[in-house]
Structure 1
Amino acid sequence: MTGFARAAGTTGPVQWAWEVRSVNGRGLDIRLRVPTGYDGAGETARVALQRALTRGQCQVTLSITRPETPPRVRINETLLASLAASVARVPLPPGMSPATLNGLLGIRGVVEADEEPAADAEALSRDLAQAASHLVADLVAARRDEGRQLGAILAGQIAAMERLTRAAEDCPSRRPEAVRARLAAAVAALAGAGGLDGDRLHQEAVLLAAKADVREELDRLQAHLASVKDLVVGGGGIGRKLDFLAQELGREANTLCAKAGDVALSRIGLDLKAVVEQFREQVQNVE
């Protein structure tokens, strides 16, 4: 399922923001993009997603912004005055210039820089972990909203597959008299070819009858549809199971089309294949 969530905040002078995007996927694939030094926060988000999700490709991003204010410069005037007085009292050798202000300012301790206080690492780690938890909860809520909309679509497709299966069950071409008529025509065509004895004609008739019988395919279609409905009602992590059942439904629909000896039944089978394919595409969005 697709979804998006964002969580942002500030810890001391540090501004941070979590973002997560999820798209369809057969399994659970989590990809992290976090700044250097924040691997622990990324793993916290990964674990939370692994506990909450079973399918989907998730892209998690953490951005950190620190203030770029220049440090405040302060001159230790007391120390500078003391140094200037001490230098003035020192007799200079011939050829040596007296100390200048530039030289005195270069002495360690005369010029001091007051930097912005750094964020508390423990507080930042705690805030990022809490935000990651809220982020995952919001993503799950977004995916659940999409799931409710998808449920209505799947329900319509399941109803359509059931209707088409019943139509195949009730198709006039499956009535005994219709099957006998087709077999009689096929046997007559074989007999007209010449060179076939009665036993061979009987064998061919049996084969034609077996090929024309779609009872087994219809039974499996009904069983698979019953399983699909049970899964949808039960909820939970059903995406992979529905994907498997969609493949089986497609297999039975293909066989139904192949064995259909009548245009009407063939059309029903083709319509069923189309709905099954639509169902299978939507199932990829189900967790």
Structure 2
Amino acid sequence: MLRSMTGFGRSEGSVQGSRLTVEIKTVNHRFRDVSVKLPKGWGILEPAFRSTLEDKLIRGRVEIHVHVSSTEQAGKLTLDRERLKQYADVLSEINQVLHTNLTVEATDHLFQAGVIRESEALPGLSVMTKAVIPLFEEALEEAVEMRCSEGKALQQDLLINLGSLKNLRAETEQSFLESRKDVYSMLKRKLEQFLHGTGMEEQRVVQEAAVLAEKADISEELSRMASHISQFYETCVSGSPAGRRLEFILQEINRETNTIGSKSGSEFVGRQVVEMKDVLEKMREQVQNAE
């Protein structure tokens, strides 16, 4: 099944009082172009992200955003009771050794190193790394699922337009086959009128008319177009990333369409060519979003 290059995935989680959010957005691009935005100092994660993406996303612009925020508990002041008791014990021991009765104000104890601590705003990087990788994989899977869903709809639209193109080609071929003898007769008549009085032999006129009729023959172009349409269908339903190949096939179909329009003098075929080019333009826009 065809896959779109449009997708979005988001995953959230908590670790030691901090909130982690991973977002992945993908849009169409000729190649795979990855942009990773991480909190300061988290650059170590980027190679792992890129490595995981290689097998999951073949083409497209990929934007990865990792957000981290602390909870209300972060930065809270806490009293280290054990540390405070140690300072008091040390003071008591000093008094025993020196046979003194030194005293310290209670507030002085509070400003000793380590007695009052501020909770860490964020856990360490190693802890966060272990937490963010699974979230990244979840967000990526969600983005891939969306690309598959969008691709299914894209494939259906392409096949509908391909059916229209196939019908237009068949109608053009039928019209050409029915009018081929008439085209020869018309060219012969015009040549006779143009060369009247020049003394050219009838056999020469017939030969010239045959040459002109052959130049106006679009059977080869119609045959190649039928082959390209079959290739497009097979590629579209192959299940492999095929966006660039589909673009190339459409270019070939468009080339044959232009040639048919320039070679045929039929008014009906001219109208068919206009309709075929309209369908091809729609398909070209659709294929640009295929992976």
TM-score by length of structure 2 reads: 0.82
**Partner in structure 2 of residue 247 of structure 1:** 251
What one-letter code is carried by the residue in structure 1 that aligns with 2:43?
D
Q: Indicate which of 128, 135, 142 corresponds to 1:131.
A: 135
Kindly report the root-mean-square deviation, in angstroms, between the aligned alpha carbons of the 2 structures: 3.2
Q: How much does 1:207 deviate?
A: 4.1
2:64 matched to which residue of 1? 60
Cα distance, 1:172 vs structure 2:
5.3
* Runs of 5+ unmatched residues, structure 1: 91-98
Q: Secondary structure at the match of 1:26?
A: coil
- Equivalent residue number for residue 72 of structure 1: 78
Deviations 1:185-206 (A, max 9, x none): 33134314x6584597567434
More displaced stretch, 147-156 vs 114-123 = 114-123
CA distance in 2 between counterparts of 1:103 and 1:133 reads 51
Does 1:263 pair with 2:242? no
Report the alpha carbon displacement of residue 29 of structure 1 after superposing the two structures with TM.
Answer: 1.1
What residue is the counterpart of 1:94 in the other structure? none
Query: Offset at 1:59?
Result: 1.0
User: Residue 178 of structure 1: CA displacement?
Assistant: 1.2
Report the equivalent of 1:14.
18
1:137-286 mapped onto 2 (5 Å cutoff): 137-171=141-175, 174-192=178-196, 197-198=200-201, 201=205, 204-286=208-290
Between the aligned partners of 1:196 and 1:46, the Cα distance in structure 2 is 79
AA partner of residue 191 (structure 2): V
Distance 2:206 2:268 in 1: 27
CA distance, structure 2, for counterparts of residue 45 and residue 78 of structure 1: 47
| Aligned with 1:33 (options 37, 47, 52) | 37
Shift of 1:104: 4.7
CA distance in 2: counterparts of 1:17 and 1:110, whole angstroms: 33
**In 1, Cα distance between the equivalents of 2:247 and 2:199?**
48
| Segment drifting more, 111-120 vs 41-50 | 111-120
Opposite residue 69 of structure 1, the aligned amino acid is G
Q: Specify whether residues 10 and 279 from structure 1 end up closer, same or farther in structure 2 by C-alpha distance, changes over 3 A only.
A: same
Using the alignment, how far apart are the partners of 2:169 and 2:184 within structure 1?
23
Aligned with 2:76: secondary structure? coil
Q: Whose relative contact order is higher, 1 or 2, with alpha carbons under 8 Å and at least 6 apart?
A: 2
Q: State TM-score, norm by structure 1.
A: 0.83
Structure 1 residues 78 and 29, CA gap change in structure 2 (3 angstroms):
closer
Give the count of matched residue pairs: 277
Cα deviation for residue 183 of structure 1 reads 1.2
Deviation at 1:63, TM superposition (A): 0.7
| Aligned 8 A contact 2:8 2:24 in 1 | yes
State the Cα distance separating 1:78 from its structure 2 match: 7.2
Q: 1:246 aligns to what SS in structure 2?
A: helix
Name the amino acid aligned to 2:126. E
Per-residue CA distance 1:231-260 (angstroms, 9 max, x = gap): 122121111110100111111111111111
Unaligned runs of 5+ in 2: none
Deviations 1:133-154 (A, max 9, x none): 1221111100111111112111
Q: Residues 234 and 245 of structure 1: is their aligned pair in 2 closer, same or farther, counting only changes over 3 Å? A: same
**Secondary structure, in 3 states, of the residue corresponding to 2:290?**
coil
Residue 45 of structure 1 is matched in structure 2 by 49
SS in 2 for 1:268: helix
C-alpha displacement at 1:37, in angstroms? 1.7
SS in 2 for 1:60: strand
